[in-house]
Amino acid sequence: MITISKMQEMDVIDINDGKKIGNVKDIEINLRDGKVTAVILPEEGNFLRFFKKEYDQVIPMSHIIKIGEDIILVDGKNLNLNHSVSYGEE
């Protein structure tokens, strides 16, 4: 088990280039089954817009390879991690 506060301390790393994408800001949970569906990261360098969800990057659980003790590894190959994703876009 892991807490959200512990996840927020972890670096999120893209396994394709080894670069840090950011840190977890929040998680998305499916209320029907109680499962986490995505982790949410603030847009890189987006300190002033921290509370504006429309600028967040959403990484679906299907792209998360491993949640370790200190880092979260994601496959960002088919994700647009250079540009933020807006809520409601699917």
Convert the pLDDT of each residue in 44-83 to its tens digit: 554 555 555 556 889 999 999 999 999 999 998 888 764 3
Q: Supply 9's token pair.
A: 């301390």
Question: What pLDDT, on the 0 to 100 scale, is given for residue 82?
Answer: 46
- Confidence tier at 43 by pLDDT (50, 70, 90): confident
Domains of the chain and any CATH numbers: 4-74 (2.30.30.240)
Q: Sign (positive/negative) of CA torsion 55, 60, 64, 67? A: positive
Question: What pLDDT, on the 0 to 100 scale, is given for residue 86?
Answer: 40
Q: Mean pLDDT across the chain, nearest whole number?
A: 81
